[in-house]
């Protein structure tokens, strides 16, 4: 006869119960990841101020409970960790509150647009002795990890320059741009994190930027194209190129050049097929956007978060890793405004 | 307060309950896939004649029940469909028995090494009016699908030639080789399926083969290197190259050349990073073997199987698609033995 | 004051005087090469039975003399070596005559379509003690040389299989096809040579072929698409794929797979630029045909010829290297006719 | 009998007689090109202050006359055009003198390190009504020409950003560096020209630079690594990255990103062969340095020069094209010194 039901692999001590705050695009992505791809994770509730969103996400990803009150998750005695995917202006408040109830915390980037607010939240985290991981998922991408390995192993020697090309396939809606903190805070912040991940801290930044894609973005007070030059503390020089619109799709390339060689990443495409006909030798466009391109790194960052909590280590992207890129974005914006290189210690 | 538990997205009528027979490598792979990646699938039991294997797989993939008796799955009234992952010599028996209890059936390749046995099993399936899908997962790979699209859309015109290079990273254990049916039945059978998937039925086959990798393979009565030339019914000419050992990893490439162009696939690598140093410009080896390389197609074939059952359509790889490649393998083996081209109608 | 005229670098003893026979496309190519790119070569005369062709080539490439009588070149006491670029049916006659006057000989491929004729010419060469180089220029291509090096150095271990894909951009005129000796003698003969260059002698050949490109080619008694499988004396297995028409241009790829790795060549393109737009990621078509693709190897073969003569060594592609590919073409044609594998010792 | 000697293709009216000044590496390169690859060119004399150098070059390239006195070439009534390949400090003097005797002029880059000196030389050229072509050979490279075509044809829309990566395989000798004008004047000047060739005039420049490769370069007063950001008059933003030492060889890549797509060039390698073994999938290093990489463009620029003279058109890279990159280099050097963005109109 078919035997009795078997308990899942992970004993109680190895499982962590999570509550998700925010059921928008990124909240749903993490809901999906946590419920199907992360060993040891149990997403037991999801909150969204729009109850219908929370309800629908709960149904779609088989999450037992939902609510329109984030506080219910923060205060729940059943929940070990919160995953904060709500709008940026709520991040610091939820971090502080969750730290207050002893929750472990995962928070999406950027933490906030204001350094004082960030510093207060990080202090609350430190006081509570909980962990905070920031959602810089790209560190977990296999390309970036390979480049990091090439640096750390000495394979390419002492790094001299870093070049990041990072272009979105299309700008977000103007309404989003208005609350996004701007290109540097919303988009280039990932590249600022990548700079630090690969080559360490930055001393100085110089930026040129403009509205080239859509005048409406300029009318909303933002830029859509920006190039930045950075001087690292270790002496290396970096450049970042951002555009809100690459018509051929998401363009995500990094190159580090050093004394013994270079490591350079290309884009991923949906297939590895080349078509040759009378007009060209061609392939399909790159993976369209971050959901397609970075799905594996979203999974990997959550696996790392849950592993750190269940096994007792330190989470891999800490609060300060969330703070410094905000500072760099501020430096970049000041450089544009004042048309001069800006040292980060002018701001911090 | 946190609200009541929400039912999962899929209503009862849209969910299918599956039992897996065989908890070896491929059985575990499907167990993982079915429990985490296939909407509408509920893997509720797994069987293996080694009870410990069944137990361990059930625990690892949170499958409620396990058993050492495949018959318990076949006879269970709770189970809608069976996924047959046991050894090849048991496939036809389980197909026939499962058809007898009205189960829908997914069966790994090859169905069997004997045509009469296959024909009897397919007749049982037809009599029972159930569906049978064969595990030719590669049809669901994004590269092969893109090449198929290039053919079907007319993008490369009328197909003239097909070239398949298909090499494993390392031979299986000699004990496995002895029961595998040989390279043509165990390995090239996937390429025979690919031929039919892309260009249709084959009329004639000529093979050259030898033991080049390991004399022990020859002593076990098999070959480890084989090249085959095929004539398709539509006039196209195909070649397949197989080796049991490519030291650089799994090599899976297909090219179709036609009157208006060619479609040609490359390998996938774990990252898209190029390292340049004083010795070479290089990248990491291709994805190592079928688990890494074809994971997405294993998922996709199961999604297609479950969708066909829950939505009422026909499964995408039917019994005859399992039968003909066996016939082709027989033709290839006869060609090697008799050193001449062999028409498939000599065998069928 | 500007000083006296300086003698050219090469002393008299290091210069060789050449006469070119045939001022068609390939004769003009060699005329250009010899007059501008080959140190030590002095092309002093060119012959063509159409005097206007000889005259025009002489003018275009600054060759001092021209004639409508090849015999004038063969009998000239001023000429050290002849370069035979006339039609195939005249090759053996000119080889024999030139050997008779003690000339060194370069002759385009194929030597002839008839083995007895070839053997007589080679005997004349041997008797005269002169050297004969056959125009298998592809041996001098940087791709093929790199693959050869990978084999010879042991970099890819013991060779197991060889795959050649060789496609022309468009068929020659039907009138040419009628006198060409057919696809195997005119086109695949280069690939037969490549087989021997890379892996040595071939024992057996099996061919499938058809008319897929243009019925007029079939009416002219030829085929336009052919695939061949070869067994080498060293046990390796080869395949060659030929098509008279790849709409995307000249397709010239070779792969050798061995016990320790593989060496695989790609096509050359006119530039290394990738264009990405909303429809595709693409590049320009490969170099169009043999003139563009193999210009460097035409130069290199002539440099090697002249160097062997001026420095006293052996030319790199000897008479037997011209003979065996003709034999292989015969084997391939017999295989098509008799629908069976053909051993070369059935023919030779 | 072999007929009378035929005159070369080019009639007297279509041939131009050139004298080369400077028999160093670049002078010898042009000597070789002019004597073998440029229709219509007759290099009839070469000068070098080291007579042995002139003599040896004359012998090697079959140039009838040589001299240690550049003035003999400039004053010769037989010479139509001079090719100035001497050291930079002599360029303006020779340009002015050659213009004075009505010679057409080709001059290597940079014209000079001093704007007043350049302006005087350009004025002399204008007064004499002769033509002056500057040796920015890279404009004639097939990669750069393809990118230019992508811009001019609208294929990639309105240009937004330009990225140039340009790295030498190894630094020149320190003695050369001392007289080179520095990295920006000697090396990045080519990239400044490429900026103008592709996107037009530049308004502003910001540079970060350092000594990362060899302290001796710093002791010589130069830098070996530099990154520059540029604002074009049309609003586009550019970046240039230079290093004196890429251990993997000459790295020459350009990317232009625009509203409708991107055009991006890769390096050229000596062959298109990929080697796969147990350690990596790799290819040979890029072509080593400018001689190998840009040989075709050196030929093409000379063909263009001679064609413009023989056919009556305007040379393709005029005096101002030589002047502005010098200005840009000055802007870059001032930016480094003053740690601020510098507008070119501050200098000009």
Q: What is the mean pLDDT of residues D176-204?
A: 97
pLDDT tens-digit series, residues C43-101: 999 999 999 999 999 999 999 999 999 999 999 999 999 999 999 999 999 999 999 99
User: Is D282 an interface residue toward B (CB < 8 Å)?
Assistant: yes
Say how many C-beta atoms besides its own lie within 10 A of residue B203's C-beta.
15
Comparing CA positions, the residue from B187, B185, B157 lying closest to residue B258 is B157
Query: How confident is the model at residue C262, as a pLDDT?
Result: 98
Which residues of chain C does A281 touch, with a Cβ-Cβ cutoff of 8 Å? 248, 269, 282-286
pLDDT tens-digit series, residues B173-187: 999 999 999 999 999
Query: How confident is the model at residue B7, as a pLDDT?
Result: 29
Q: Is the pLDDT of residue C102 over 50?
A: yes
DSSP-assigned letter for residue D137: G
CA Rg value for chain A = 21
Give me the percent of chain B exceeding a pLDDT of 90.
95
Three-class HEC string of A130-158: CCEEECCHHHHCHHHHHHHHHHHCCCCCC
Two tokens, residue A102: 């002893």
**B272 to chain D: closest CA residue:** D281
Predicted confidence band of residue D236 (pLDDT cuts 50, 70, 90): very high
Query: How confident is the model at residue C10, as a pLDDT?
Result: 34
Query: How confident is the model at residue C6, as a pLDDT?
Result: 30
Q: How far is A172 from chain D (nearest CA, A)?
A: 16
Three-class HEC string of D153-217: CCCCCCEEEEEEEEECCCCCCHHHHHHCCCHHHHCHHHHHHHHHHHHCCEEEEEEEEECCCCHHH
Q: Is the pLDDT of residue D13 over 70?
A: no
Q: Does residue C302 sit in helix, strand or coil?
A: helix
Q: What are the two backbone dihedrals, phi and then psi, of residue B27, each rounded to the nearest 5 degrees?
A: -65, -40
Query: How confident is the model at residue D6, as a pLDDT?
Result: 30
Which residues of chain D does C250 touch, with a Cβ-Cβ cutoff of 8 Å? none
Q: What is the mean pLDDT of residues A138-161?
A: 98
DSSP secondary structure of D241-309: EEES--TT--EEEEEEEETTEEEEE----S--EEEEESS-EEEPPPP-SHHHHTHHHHHHHHHHHHHHH
Q: Does residue B161 sit in helix, strand or coil?
A: strand
C229, C230, C231, C232 alpha-carbon torsion, rounded to 10°: -150
Q: Is the pLDDT of residue B23 over 80?
A: yes
Q: What is the mean pLDDT of residues B108-133?
A: 97
Q: Are A322 and A109 in contact (CB under 8 A)?
A: yes
Predicted confidence band of residue D183 (pLDDT cuts 50, 70, 90): very high
- For residues B305-326, one letter each, b for 16 or more C-beta atoms within 10 angstroms of the residue's C-beta and e for the rest, the string is bbbbbbeeeebbbebebbbbbb
Predicted confidence band of residue D194 (pLDDT cuts 50, 70, 90): very high
CA gap D171, D177 in Å, rounded? 8
Query: How confident is the model at residue D10, as a pLDDT?
Result: 34
Verify whether the Cβ–Cβ distance B3 to A65 is below 8 Å. yes
- Can you give the length of chain C in residues? 348
D277 vs B247, B281, B283: nearest CB:
B247
DSSP alpha helices (H): ranges in B129-236? 142-152, 174-179, 183-186, 188-199, 215-219
Two tokens, residue D88: 């930079």
B211, B217, B218, B223 alpha-carbon torsion, rounded to 10°: -50
Which residues of chain D does A161 touch, with a Cβ-Cβ cutoff of 8 Å? 225, 227, 241, 243
Verify whether the Cβ–Cβ distance C229 to B241 is below 8 Å. no
The pTM for the full model equals: 0.95
pLDDT tens-digit series, residues A228-246: 999 999 999 999 999 999 9
Q: What is the mean pLDDT of residues D196-225?
A: 98
Q: Are B211 and B224 in contact (CB under 8 A)?
A: yes
Query: How confident is the model at residue A174, as a pLDDT?
Result: 97
Q: How far is A192 from chain D (nearest CA, A)?
A: 18
Query: How confident is the model at residue B348, as a pLDDT?
Result: 73
Q: Is the pLDDT of residue C344 over 50?
A: yes
Whole-number mean pLDDT of chain C? Answer: 95
Predicted confidence band of residue B13 (pLDDT cuts 50, 70, 90): very low
Verify whether the Cβ–Cβ distance C280 to A281 is below 8 Å. no
Domains with residue ranges and CATH for chain C? 12-130 (3.40.50.720), 139-288+319-346 (3.30.360.10)
pLDDT tens-digit series, residues D278-316: 999 999 999 999 999 999 999 999 999 999 999 989 999
**A206 to chain D: closest CA residue:** D206
User: Is D264 an interface residue toward C (CB < 8 Å)?
Assistant: yes
Query: How confident is the model at residue C348, as a pLDDT?
Result: 73
CA gap A59, A64 in Å, rounded? 8
B160 vs C158, C225, C262: nearest CB:
C225
| Mutation target vs A (from D146, D206, D339; most A CBs, 10 A cutoff) | D206
CA gap A127, A95 in Å, rounded? 12
Query: How confident is the model at residue B221, as a pLDDT?
Result: 97
User: Is D206 an interface residue toward A (CB < 8 Å)?
Assistant: yes
C208 vs B167, B229, B262: nearest CB:
B229
Verify whether the Cβ–Cβ distance A277 to B156 is below 8 Å. yes
Query: How confident is the model at residue B3, as a pLDDT?
Result: 33
Tokens 């790392």, residue located: A304
Verify whether the Cβ–Cβ distance D248 to A229 is below 8 Å. no
Predicted confidence band of residue D270 (pLDDT cuts 50, 70, 90): very high
Verify whether the Cβ–Cβ distance D55 to C6 is below 8 Å. yes
**A225 to chain D: closest CA residue:** D160
pLDDT tens-digit series, residues C24-50: 999 999 999 999 999 999 999 999 999
pLDDT tens-digit series, residues C103-156: 999 999 999 999 999 999 999 999 999 999 999 999 999 999 999 999 999 999
**Cα dist from B309 to A93, B135, B295, B299, whole Å:** 48, 16, 22, 16
């Amino acid at each position: 006869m078919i035997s009795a039901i078997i308990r899942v692999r992970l004993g109680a001590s190895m499982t962590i119960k999570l509550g998700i705050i925010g059921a928008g695009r990124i909240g749903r992505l993490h809901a999906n990841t946590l419920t199907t791809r992360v060993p040891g994770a149990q997403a037991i509730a999801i909150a969204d101020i729009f109850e219908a969103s929370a309800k629908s996400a709960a149904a779609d990803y088989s999450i037992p409970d939902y609510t329109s009150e984030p506080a219910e998750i923060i205060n729940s005695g059943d929940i070990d960790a919160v995953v904060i995917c709500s709008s940026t202006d709520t991040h610091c408040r939820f971090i502080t509150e969750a730290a207050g109830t002893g929750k472990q915390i995962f928070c999406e980037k950027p933490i906030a647009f204001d350094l004082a607010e960030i510093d207060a939240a990080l202090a609350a985290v430190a006081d509570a002795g909980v962990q905070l991981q920031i959602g810089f998922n790209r560190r977990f991408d296999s390309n970036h990890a390979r480049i990091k390995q090439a640096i750390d192993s000495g394979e390419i020697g002492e790094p001299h320059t870093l070049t990041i090309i990072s272009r979105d396939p299309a700008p977000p809606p103007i309404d989003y741009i208005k609350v996004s903190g701007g290109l540097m805070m919303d988009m280039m912040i990932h590249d600022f994190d990548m700079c630090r991940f690969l080559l360490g801290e930055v001393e100085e930044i110089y930026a040129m930027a403009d509205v080239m894609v859509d005048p409406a973005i300029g009318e909303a007070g933002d830029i859509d194209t920006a190039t930045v030059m950075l001087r690292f503390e270790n002496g290396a020089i970096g450049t970042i190129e951002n555009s809100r619109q690459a018509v051929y799709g998401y363009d995500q390339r990094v190159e580090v050049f050093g004394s013994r060689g270079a490591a350079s990443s290309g884009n991923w495409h949906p297939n590895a097929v080349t078509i040759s006909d009378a007009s060209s030798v061609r392939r399909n466009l790159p993976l369209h956007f971050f959901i397609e391109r970075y799905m594996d790194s979203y999974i990997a960052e959550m696996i790392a978060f849950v592993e750190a909590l269940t096994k007792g280590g330190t989470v891999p992207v800490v609060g300060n890793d969330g703070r410094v890129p905000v500072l760099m974005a501020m430096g970049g914006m000041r450089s544009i405004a004042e048309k001069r290189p800006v040292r980060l210690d002018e701001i911090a």
